[in-house]
Structure 1
């Protein structure tokens, strides 16, 4: 223990400026740095943000056989689900999602959509027709079930055994394909024929996890999806003049493609340039059909995926090119689109965009696991599924690049990293918007601009009286705020974390580790927070709490710059609710510069801090955040100039 006489302490205090003394005595900001959630690890999810030694998740494999009735716009068929209960508890029932039931007049989604409409408005003359429902286990078969809106509770004859119990669920289903499918699916009429974009199209199991048990939130609209992983075997029967594309790999090309198309497909698989499979002048002609009339059954298979989607039309131009996915692996970028979308400034570049996007993410973050990446021109503004994206058929140029890049970026979040979109849209939309920035600046020598590196462009929203936080449920968020709460604000947060707080090397190491550890698993927000902190070696509670929860803002400024014993005292202030490290650029009268970085911990003691700048030069100007990396809501106090 060190002992100081009071007289010495008094003299020491007298010699120090009061501002410096004050910053040693005030601990009023500590609450901003405290842990904000219960983040202790367990056997399922560790404190280091990894899956624990006893982590588990259930699995579902699907066999789907359906037929498309173009005359009546109907899809009908059957599904067999092989479900495995890997959890440590028995299950008395299994919850099934019936998302087509959203398209009925009395669905919860319809009844909670404004009468003025929104992006998530949809047809109301649809819904599933189900029959022959059964669940078979080792002990018997049950057909008892309750349907509530977009969910079915399917009871078992006896509880399904823990740690490996199996059930086989079967049923027949049919539904009318909506014209307006809430901007996720639907029908588009073109000159040659209808484009069908088919998603949320089969009964599928809900996720049972270690956090909330059964995830049974109703499908209302804005909230997206949370799915188990498995193998999908899909057979789609359609008229012989239809071209069908689907998630996964086509298993029977010799049965559904002409010999010429097969040859072109083989050529495209070796080409970095786009190759036509069906040329524009061949669309709708008998020569583009493998069979003159009747029907064809297209067979697809996809492994380790959480979903599949498909599209069909006789109006499709079809082209493709090789994707170079790293480590010697290749795949196929493909596009299908009607002649209304054709053109060198439009969908003729779609495969080029798709190829560049998927290659960038595969080589930068995590290897692309699927063989195909198919872009479909449809009435949908932009929606993602594993290996398939629906983008608007009228998109061109920068807009087409942006939507294509965004939707295929979703293959990493949430298709590979399987977060819960319905609860935490920022974990897929925000993460994806963030990585879109880097793919955009890398594409074709920065052909198209990105604004993600300008967090201050968010200031108007951040100071908007009716703004909402990132943690706002997508179903609750105001429609005009959802783009900010789910996309732009979380993306800006990750940008600041990478470029300003941690630096690219530390951030990238942690971010890639997060992807690698949670690939094909179900991370929660705390898993992300914990893993980023553990790998980067930084307590970021102040940042998670301030930026991702609530409506606080960043507002730091320069209070004064004063000469002091041949040096300078620079006093900075924090007028916002989110503390951040401080970066200052000092410009001297001889036009030389010096950068000063102060750690975030200066704000633990209070909202003012004085830094001693040791220099023999005369200071002309001091600028806070000289590269404008922070979403600071007040730029007026960022600069000090010598009078």
Structure 2
């Protein structure tokens, strides 16, 4: 920028002068650059398993679990009888003398920890899993397992340790349990107007994760989220012959499970960008009326997955459409819901929402599975690989938002398999981040901007909605384990604050040109693996080219506030021609890079970026600008993009005096 022209300088000297208005703001400051910019030790160190660039290291390992499952649903007694064969591969460098399994159905027992410890006060119960037999098959021999069941987990003591670096064994389990009613939440039998829906999840004993971070992840399940190993799951569901089953993965036996008409309609849907009805309301009505004691098998298979779930009912409308993926492949968007959920602003549009959401999310990483199913049932709002459980009564924007959000979990944590029980922000927050943009993109912003209910009244600025949380001394940090966060803060922190943190990182700190390639590379690098928060922090710094220790410290490791201000403007050495000095201060511990708007007396304005380095070694920084015309005011963050606690001090206006 050039100096003011002589005529302007003479005008300033000969007429009026612009005076600096002093401020006591700096005296009230809690900001100390020595705290914010101190060297940061990541929560977990880099090593041969996880390197300094946030990538899997040279010695990274991960165990594998493959399942062969058969579930038989007794629809009259509302019971599930299961047969399970687990193939477990120990890729760790450790011999394993015992194995741990998760028995999630035991959460419904009256004596479970969750009955008193969880934030959902249950008044109805089941007996949980009834384990009929467990057999260990290893080294060509089999024996009855030596087990200990404690709450929602089971320990199996092995007669001989399972060898490291690729040792394998199998577990053969026979079991049954009573399927809870809608009080079961994430898995339930849900009544419809004419029949009922079996929403089946957490339905088989699952191997606990053994990893380099914590060894066995065998904490009791108290109703929050899951952390699971990857593998191939092949499963068969036996139900009454008039039932229709939708589930995770690919339907292997469509010729046996579907009528010829349904097969033909399904083939049409696989080639159609418009919704095609595979099973109509009339078909559902006829199926409900055709009650039978005959059964039918539905055989599914899913690869590169950590879990499967399914739903079964005689009372399903089924529709579908093709999903177009950026790698030239395609998948299938499908919806299953009872006739009373149908309607132009209701579930008639569900498949459209599934298709639009998956196509948008696939810009980050292509959707990997042959189908994506939206189930209209009890309304648990819960995600599983390839299928999500939503509410049959949902409609309008709520139906779109819940559909997009639950499907977004495909990427976090179904593809990027973070430990969502310990690090909810890597699950709910990362997902909320991507579905914010999905709302903007769908149908030219029909449901934009995304709002998250109680903390987001329409018309409010999203960055202001986080201010009460940042100001609350009792609010947890994003690093707090999910199960230790009070329900009061669960949504506002793990969902909203975590998502806003990524929005700010993308739009205000790094910019999309650096953030987007780094974030896509992170997903691709950690697909079907188990990254930690430290891996993410290191990866983004290395891939985007920025030391972000200050951001991780203030927004993630702590719950620090932001309150930056412009505190004054003055001449350099009392001469405007030497430059204009602008002064800043922060009342709170966190600062951020920000846009600075210079408003001139002639009505024009000029924007510049105030980088984070401005604050790096000064308690109350200042900058000197060479301007070529008289300045009227200066504003920090003029577009209101930052969660600044007090915006009244963001603008400083010069006053003319004689």
- Residue 72 of structure 2 corresponds to residue 60 of structure 1: no
Contact kept, 8 Å, 1:142 with 1:156, in 2: the verdict is no
- Residue 202 of structure 2 corresponds to residue 200 of structure 1: yes
Within a 5 Å distance, the mapping from 1:196-275 to structure 2 comes to: 196-222=198-224, 224-275=225-276
SS in 2 for 1:544: helix
Q: Say which is worse superposed, 323-332 or 523-532, in terms of deviation.
A: 323-332
Structure-1 separation of matches of 2:301 and 2:140: 30
**Residue of structure 2 in register with 1:4 after alignment:** none
SS in 1 for 2:506: helix
**Residue of structure 1 in register with 2:390 after alignment:** 391
Structure-1 separation of matches of 2:183 and 2:307: 17
Structure-2 separation of matches of 1:104 and 1:246: 26
How far the C-alpha of 1:570 sits from its partner, in A, is: 0.9
How far the C-alpha of 1:637 sits from its partner, in A, is: 1.0
How far the C-alpha of 1:38 sits from its partner, in A, is: 5.2
**Residue of structure 1 in register with 2:533 after alignment:** 525
2:160 to 158, 161, 166: 158
Contact kept, 8 Å, 1:39 with 1:530, in 2: the verdict is no
Contact kept, 8 Å, 2:195 with 2:288, in 1: the verdict is no
Structure-2 separation of matches of 1:458 and 1:319: 39
**Residue of structure 1 in register with 2:303 after alignment:** 303
Structure-2 separation of matches of 1:493 and 1:301: 37
Structure-1 separation of matches of 2:159 and 2:351: 50
Within a 5 Å distance, the mapping from 1:168-183 to structure 2 comes to: 168-180=170-182, 183=185
**Residue of structure 1 in register with 2:100 after alignment:** 95
SS in 1 for 2:484: coil
SS in 2 for 1:523: coil
- Residue 578 of structure 2 corresponds to residue 578 of structure 1: no
SS in 1 for 2:109: coil
Contact kept, 8 Å, 1:183 with 1:383, in 2: the verdict is no
Structure-2 separation of matches of 1:88 and 1:142: 26
**Residue of structure 2 in register with 1:77 after alignment:** 82
Contact kept, 8 Å, 2:439 with 2:450, in 1: the verdict is no
Residues 38 and 195 of structure 1: CA distance in aligned 2, closer, same or farther (over 3 Å): closer
How far the C-alpha of 1:77 sits from its partner, in A, is: 1.5
Contact kept, 8 Å, 1:187 with 1:196, in 2: the verdict is yes
**Residue of structure 2 in register with 1:282 after alignment:** 283
**Residue of structure 1 in register with 2:371 after alignment:** 372
- Residue 188 of structure 2 corresponds to residue 186 of structure 1: yes
How far the C-alpha of 1:516 sits from its partner, in A, is: 0.8
Q: Say which is worse superposed, 140-149 or 63-72, in terms of deviation.
A: 140-149
How far the C-alpha of 1:142 sits from its partner, in A, is: 4.4
How far the C-alpha of 1:574 sits from its partner, in A, is: 1.4
Within a 5 Å distance, the mapping from 1:444-459 to structure 2 comes to: 444-451=443-450, 454-459=462-467
- The alignment of Structure 1 onto Structure 2 pairs a total of residues equal to 615
TM-score by length of 2: 0.90
Structure-1 separation of matches of 2:418 and 2:438: 22
SS in 2 for 1:495: helix
Structure-2 separation of matches of 1:641 and 1:392: 53
How far the C-alpha of 1:467 sits from its partner, in A, is: 2.2
- Residue 33 of structure 2 corresponds to residue 29 of structure 1: yes
TM-score by length of 1: 0.92
**Residue of structure 2 in register with 1:15 after alignment:** none
Within a 5 Å distance, the mapping from 1:499-578 to structure 2 comes to: 499-564=507-572, 565-566=575-576, 567-578=579-590
Structure-1 separation of matches of 2:320 and 2:289: 16
**Residue of structure 2 in register with 1:592 after alignment:** 604
- Residue 478 of structure 2 corresponds to residue 460 of structure 1: no
Q: Which runs of 5+ in 1 are unaligned?
A: 1-17
Structure-1 separation of matches of 2:288 and 2:402: 33
SS in 1 for 2:115: helix
- Residue 484 of structure 2 corresponds to residue 483 of structure 1: no
SS in 2 for 1:475: helix
Q: Say which is worse superposed, 376-385 or 399-408, in terms of deviation.
A: 376-385
1:619 to 606, 631, 635: 631
CA RMSD of aligned residues (A): 2.1
Contact kept, 8 Å, 1:575 with 1:607, in 2: the verdict is no
SS in 1 for 2:488: coil
Structure-2 separation of matches of 1:466 and 1:409: 30
Cα deviation digits, residues 278-325 of structure 1 (max 9, x gap): 111221314998x96511010001111000000011111110000101
Within a 5 Å distance, the mapping from 1:333-372 to structure 2 comes to: 333-362=333-362, 364-372=363-371
**Residue of structure 2 in register with 1:12 after alignment:** none
Structure-1 separation of matches of 2:288 and 2:476: 55
Contact kept, 8 Å, 1:187 with 1:197, in 2: the verdict is yes
How far the C-alpha of 1:477 sits from its partner, in A, is: 1.2
Residues 604 and 122 of structure 1: CA distance in aligned 2, closer, same or farther (over 3 Å): farther
- Residue 619 of structure 2 corresponds to residue 607 of structure 1: yes
Structure-2 separation of matches of 1:40 and 1:176: 45
Structure-1 separation of matches of 2:239 and 2:140: 38
Cα deviation digits, residues 62-113 of structure 1 (max 9, x gap): 0001111111111112110000000011000110000000001110111213
Structure-2 separation of matches of 1:287 and 1:66: 22
Contact kept, 8 Å, 2:227 with 2:421, in 1: the verdict is yes
Cα deviation digits, residues 101-160 of structure 1 (max 9, x gap): 00011101112135xx46xx4742241000111222117434101111000001111000
Q: Say which is worse superposed, 125-134 or 296-305, in terms of deviation.
A: 125-134
Q: Say which is worse superposed, 632-641 or 232-241, in terms of deviation.
A: 632-641
Residues 599 and 636 of structure 1: CA distance in aligned 2, closer, same or farther (over 3 Å): same
SS in 2 for 1:284: helix
Structure-2 separation of matches of 1:104 and 1:319: 37
**Residue of structure 2 in register with 1:400 after alignment:** 399
Structure-2 separation of matches of 1:482 and 1:403: 17
**Residue of structure 2 in register with 1:148 after alignment:** 150
Structure-2 separation of matches of 1:582 and 1:67: 59
Cα deviation digits, residues 373-411 of structure 1 (max 9, x gap): 000011133100000000111110100000000000000
How far the C-alpha of 1:632 sits from its partner, in A, is: 1.3
**Residue of structure 2 in register with 1:130 after alignment:** 131
Contact kept, 8 Å, 1:471 with 1:485, in 2: the verdict is no
Residues 323 and 38 of structure 1: CA distance in aligned 2, closer, same or farther (over 3 Å): closer
SS in 2 for 1:629: coil
**Residue of structure 1 in register with 2:423 after alignment:** 424
Contact kept, 8 Å, 1:286 with 1:292, in 2: the verdict is no
Cα deviation digits, residues 456-492 of structure 1 (max 9, x gap): 2211332235422212222221112100121000100
SS in 1 for 2:537: helix
Contact kept, 8 Å, 2:280 with 2:318, in 1: the verdict is yes
Structure-1 separation of matches of 2:181 and 2:117: 20
Structure-1 separation of matches of 2:548 and 2:63: 32
Structure-2 separation of matches of 1:127 and 1:505: 51
